[in-house]
Amino acid sequence: QQGRAVASERAPSMPRQAPSGFQQLGDDGTDSQLGDDGTDSESWPQKMQLMELMDERESGGLRLLSDLTGGGGAEKLASMLGSSAGSGLSGEAADLDHRKVLFGANAFREKEPKSYLELVWDALHDAVLIMLLVLAAVQLPTELVFGKDKSTAWIEPTALFLSVFIIVNVSSATDYVKERQFKSLAAKLNQSNKKVVVRRGEQTEVTDAEIVVGDVLAFNAHSLASLPCDGVLLSGSDVKVDESSLTGEPDPMPKTAEAPFCVSGTDVVSGSGRMLVVAVGPYSVSGKIKMAVYHDEEEDDEASPLFVKLNGIVEDVFKVGLAAAVFCFLAMVALGIVYPSFRGCGEEGCWDFLEVEWLHLIEYMLTAITVLAVAVPEGLPLAVNLALAFSSQQMMAQNNLVKHLDACETMGSATTICSDKTGTLTANRMSVRAVRVGGVTYSAAGDSKRSLGRQLVELLPEKLAHLLAHLICVDTMDESFLEVNEATGATGFKGNPTECALLSLVAEMGYDYAALRHDTPGRSLATAARGKPFMFSSKRKMMSWAVPLPRGGYRVYCKGASEIVIARCDAMLSASGEAAPLSDAKRQQLMETVVRPFAGEAYRTIALAYRDLPGVKSASSKELEATHSTMTNADGSAAYVAETGLTLLALTGIADPLRPEVPGAIERCNRAGIDVRMVTGDNLDTAVAIAKNCGILRPQDLEPDPAHAAGERPKPKRALEGREFRALVHRTHADGSLALDEEGKPEFLQTQFDKVWPYLRVLARSSPADKLTLANGLNKSTVFADAQQVEELRREGIVVFPDRQVVAMTGDGTNDAPALKRADVGFAMGVAGTQIAKDACDIVLLDDNFASIVVAAKWGRNVYASISKFLQFQLTVNIVAVSLAIIGSIVFQESPIAAVQMLWVNLIMDSLASLALSTEPPSEELLARPPVNRSTSIVTRQMWINMLGQAAYQLGVTLFVLFHGAEHFHVLDGHDVDNSKPSVHYTILFNAFVLMTLCNEVNCRKLEGEFNVFAGVCSNAWFVGVLLGTLVLQVLAVQFGGRALRCAEGGLTTHQWLFCVGAGLFSLVWQQALNCYSLLSRRVDARRKRIKKKPAHGGAVKFMSRTGNGFQEFRRSNPYLGKSLSTLRFSPSSKTAPDLISAVAGTGPVAVSRPSSY
């Protein structure tokens, strides 16, 4: 109303009765529009004026603001923009749209994704594909000029070009779909970035893109810390903003009436307030910077371990292929040109340059090039692209929005997950389950007929009930409110879940929290300047709000962590409402009889208290800002005097039920070798109770404790509070304070940290800095290299992963961003997470559920497994093909498998196989194995057994066909047939090779020597379709391919087909033999390792028993190890007692109750 009055005085000629947003003709005949206060939008400050205001914020900003508003400040500027500092905009669509036209939208024109042709060009820069194109370009003119059959000379190089064409287009199509899919996912993510603005006098959640110039934006350091636009501070309390991203200044900048300018892209680190939006999108300060560098943005991400390993393998395979090609070329030259020339040497000499058949040299070069082409694993890039694209798409369907594709693979190596409690392990649907007030505990479970709120209203004195409701309503943030769904009638929470649970209790008591806020001076929007909030922070673990009292003075309402607030209370209200002194003994009694039992029920305990300050006259009084000389906050900073000497009103127990799927998900992590640690800001007892319920604290982590309510407690170092953790892992002074390094930060001790983290399961009352310390310390830990410590931990039931830790970290707050960025894989909460946390993470959990993290781990391992499967298949094909080419070039000076057939294998088998093996869905077996060791080779021992074993079998069959096939099948020998005419002999060899490779594709689905290679095959429609499709293509190629594919005219007979099919199917049987060999070799190796671990000190024993007497001297602990016996004597008539002998160790004899005899 004040805004309307000001506007009317300034523009009396405008029709005040015109509705908001009404279009009418201005004096010049142009369209104009009325603002929410009835003002003409043409009289609003111009966009350039507002931009200049922000540009000059450091020097002349205040002067420009004063000149623009006539000294009226931010509130006058709000009315000039057709808004109101108290009630904001009207929110009508026409007005919002008009403001976007005048001042721009709070969004950027999205960078257009690459076109299909640009993606094709990028794909053509792959080194493997460039090499193939060079080979084809060399081969085509060479064949056309020097080839024997020029009519078919184009086929082989054309097949090479076709191979590259298909690979490039499949890869480009995958990237094309992936980019557009990610664009849609990013849009979905942006929709989850909510801010709170004031419209029509009410707080409303909107997305960043919906904010317009003239909006009143509410912010705080807790959940609404990221500023999405430029603005001028209207009101605030202890507001400090981190502007280091713009100015480089590390210290937060306070925002007051003397420094009111708030810049987009900065983060509120302290306090809360409201600001008037004056510039948005590309017209804001950070927006202009972004637009200036928009076209220069380039991703410079470090290659993931998987890509590093694959690049190394490709290079090694290329080197081997190049060496094989050079060897083939030299061998063919020596045997085909040099040797025949020297074989007939006589007196006239043995070398006639003119008689040498130089055309053979071209043929030998083509054969060598073919060998090199076969050796290059051109299907590998396609397999990698398909695996990552398929996995990210499937993960999205399971609530994992992958921002960086390599995070999929990295998650497969995760060894530790540091998880939040609230909202991740729990459902984040909080409710007050118990209240201790007036010396009596009221429980929601204690009365099935009445809600907890009704119990409080009916059983408490009215004065006490009203004080409780009033304290909660005043001392909660504006951004926390209840929202009723008009369709279903259900009440939803907006803002902080803990505060919403308290507000829900107030509603049950029959109070209207909005009305109580509105009627309280210093808390309502209109009188906000008369109050002073002390906003919640993770450092203080509490929040307070000072409001004036009707009789004079101020009252400070406080709520916070129970142990912190109780320690600051000097009195406690009784059932009659009288304040009674609170001694140290009573404080301890409250902790033991109320707080600890609440925590034992997994309740979050929040204490509610207050203090009257009769001497305070205004919110700006220095008494409210004074700090205590001895009492400190949780982070060690001085406490406000106003937050000490409190009177305790109530203790509340707030329950956040455990997600039902979490215990099972944590059990799967344990089986998978992934340690799960809880990092929470809640108190230790509550954290321990939740950790026990969900399985983070296992039976081996607990010890009996009759004094504890639960009868047991965590063993030492299993559960720590933040202050204990900091004292253990940092250097401390004699007085217990933390020592600081040269940069003024606590001095971290990695050696001390390594003594703590293997035991740590729960970190309670932690700060964001503790999260960063944990992520950093785990990353740098080398405990695995200390054999003695690893063995000591093993005896205590703690297994340490034999490589550096790969850390996954969850977070939702702004202060969690450094830890999320430092972790190997950062998970941000999609629902409760701040924009800053989402920007810093690698994966966004769209449902904030811990079970979705386990899904990410499974898919991450599946990416690695899929690539390994294809690599196993590809390298087996390459080994056989290159070996055949080498043998053929030496024996016959030509490859028995023609170049076009080799390319057929590469094109049909490899490209399609990459599609089949890269789309294998993950199985639960992946979570039954330890994490992937990032330092080991991607080609495991079992893969070598599979590859070499299958290659040996396939090579044996093909060599049999090569040297004895003509005789066995009664056909002409392939190397005696005219080279221009395909032979049946070599067609059989080609077909047998392809069918053995095809059946081996089934074997390659398993990497660990599993005997049932068909397990789960029907769950992958892609695999079945590709397998059958490849078989059909091969039949068509052999029967109808003819000269184009160097196959015999008319194809093969039934007898010949049966041999090829049998050879292919026997590879499945052969795989079982390889698996048996692998199993036996693993058992032998395990037995050898056990033997090596046994002590070998030696010793001697003299024994007597009723079965015989004797003396034994040995050098090893086990007397049955070959030559370990040096002397062995028994009495002549006795029988030995082997049980006695075997029970003797080098460290001393072990008694045997009943010796045996033989």
CB of 756 closer than 8 Å to CB of 729: yes
pLDDT winner (highest mean) among 201-215, 386-400, 1055-1069, 1117-1131: 1055-1069
Region 375-387: what's the mean pLDDT? 69
The per-residue pLDDT for 956 is 93
The per-residue pLDDT for 996 is 94
pLDDT range class, residue 1066, cuts 50, 70, 90: very high
Euclidean distance between CA atoms 774 and 215, whole angstroms? 41
Q: Is 816 assigned a catalytic role?
A: no
CB of 1095 closer than 8 Å to CB of 1147: yes
| H/E element, 1072 | helix 1054-1093
pLDDT digits (tens, 9 = 90+) for 1003-1044: 998 888 888 888 888 888 888 988 898 899 899 989 887 776
Please tell me which residue, 221 or 25, carries the higher pLDDT value: 221
The DSSP code sequence of 474-527 is HTS-TT-EEEE-TTT--EEEES-HHHHHHHHHHHHTT--HHHHHHTSTTTSSTT
Helices (DSSP H) in 730-767: which residue ranges?
Answer: 750-754
Helices (DSSP H) in 114-199: which residue ranges?
Answer: 116-123, 127-146, 155-191
pLDDT range class, residue 1129, cuts 50, 70, 90: very low
pLDDT digits (tens, 9 = 90+) for 104-163: 998 877 667 788 898 888 878 866 567 667 767 876 787 677 666 666 667 667 766 776
Marked catalytic residue, from 95, 420, 754, 816:
420
Q: Provide the mean pLDDT of the chain.
A: 79
Among the residue ranges 175-179, 330-334, 849-853, the one predicted with the least confidence is 175-179
CB of 714 closer than 8 Å to CB of 697: yes
Q: Is the pLDDT of residue 503 over 70?
A: yes
Euclidean distance between CA atoms 113 and 794, whole angstroms? 52
Euclidean distance between CA atoms 333 and 331, whole angstroms? 5
The DSSP code sequence of 519-573 is TSTTTSSTTGGG-EEE---TTT-EEEEEEE-TTSSEEEEEEEEHHHHHHTEEEEE
Total H helices, total E strands in the chain = 39, 35
Calculate ∠ Cα 262-268-271, nearest 5°. 105
Q: Smallest Cα–Cα separation from 266: which of 215, 224, 295?
A: 224
Residue 367 tokens read as 């054969």
Euclidean distance between CA atoms 1111 and 389, whole angstroms? 71
Q: Is the pLDDT of residue 571 over 50?
A: yes
Among the residue ranges 111-115, 429-433, 1072-1076, the one predicted with the least confidence is 111-115
Euclidean distance between CA atoms 409 and 938, whole angstroms? 12
Among the residue ranges 68-72, 284-288, 717-721, the one predicted with the least confidence is 284-288
Angle between helical axes of 73-80 and 2-10 (0-180°, round to 10): 70
β-partners of residue 195 are 206
Those residues with Cβ within 8 angstroms of residue 1150's Cβ, 6 or more apart along the chain or in another chain: 1143, 1144
DSSP class of residue 595 equals: I
Residue 454 tokens read as 């009704």
Q: Is the pLDDT of residue 375 over 90?
A: no
pLDDT range class, residue 1114, cuts 50, 70, 90: low
Please tell me which residue, 249 or 830, carries the higher pLDDT value: 830
Alpha carbon 910 to chain centroid distance?
Answer: 31
- CA distances (Å), origin 758, targets 421, 726, 787, 789: 20, 16, 14, 10
DSSP class of residue 746 equals: B
pLDDT range class, residue 549, cuts 50, 70, 90: very high
pLDDT range class, residue 570, cuts 50, 70, 90: very high
Euclidean distance between CA atoms 529 and 551, whole angstroms? 19
- CA distances (Å), origin 951, targets 203, 909, 957, 996, 1061: 70, 16, 10, 10, 17
Residue 510 gets the label, from left (phi > 0), alpha (psi -120 to 50) or beta, of left
Euclidean distance between CA atoms 694 and 793, whole angstroms? 23
pLDDT range class, residue 224, cuts 50, 70, 90: low
Assign 3-class secondary structure to 49-98.
Answer: HHHHHHHCCCCCHHHHHHHHHCCCHHHHHHHHCCCCCCCCECCCHHHHHH
Q: Smallest Cα–Cα separation from 2: which of 237, 280, 201, 279?
A: 201
Residue 194 tokens read as 């909510």
- CA distances (Å), origin 555, targets 546, 613, 617, 647, 959: 5, 6, 11, 11, 95
Calculate ∠ Cα 610-614-619, nearest 5°. 80
Euclidean distance between CA atoms 889 and 912, whole angstroms? 29
Euclidean distance between CA atoms 644 and 988, whole angstroms? 92
The per-residue pLDDT for 678 is 92
pLDDT digits (tens, 9 = 90+) for 1079-1113: 888 888 777 776 665 554 555 666 665 555 665 55
Helix (H, G, I), strand (E, B) or coil at 644: coil
Query: What single letter denotes the amino acid at residue 195?
Result: K
- CA distances (Å), origin 586, targets 557, 634, 685, 784, 850: 22, 22, 19, 48, 39
Euclidean distance between CA atoms 826 and 810, whole angstroms? 6
Helix (H, G, I), strand (E, B) or coil at 182: helix
Among the residue ranges 146-155, 237-246, 299-308, the one predicted with the least confidence is 299-308
Among the residue ranges 427-441, 685-699, 719-733, 1133-1147, the one predicted with the least confidence is 1133-1147
pLDDT range class, residue 424, cuts 50, 70, 90: confident
Q: Whole-prediction pTM value?
A: 0.68
Assign 3-class secondary structure to 773-789.
Answer: HHHHHHHHCCHHHCHHH
Q: Is the pLDDT of residue 735 over 90?
A: no
Region 217-224: what's the mean pLDDT? 76
Helix (H, G, I), strand (E, B) or coil at 295: helix
Q: Smallest Cα–Cα separation from 582: which of 635, 488, 505, 645?
A: 645
The per-residue pLDDT for 1154 is 41
The per-residue pLDDT for 156 is 63
Euclidean distance between CA atoms 268 and 834, whole angstroms? 12
The per-residue pLDDT for 768 is 77
Region 725-736: what's the mean pLDDT? 86
Please tell me which residue, 597 or 370, carries the higher pLDDT value: 597
Q: Is the pLDDT of residue 185 over 70?
A: no
- CA distances (Å), origin 1067, targets 385, 951, 1001, 1058, 1062: 29, 10, 10, 14, 9
Tokens 């093993």, residue? 794
Residue 289 burial (C-beta neighbours within 10 Å; 0-12, 13-18, 19+):
middle
Q: Is the pLDDT of residue 426 over 90?
A: no
Those residues with Cβ within 8 angstroms of residue 74's Cβ, 6 or more apart along the chain or in another chain: 65, 85, 232, 233, 234, 260, 275, 276
- CA distances (Å), origin 1033, targets 144, 909, 984, 1038, 1080: 28, 10, 19, 9, 39
Residue 516 tokens read as 């109580």
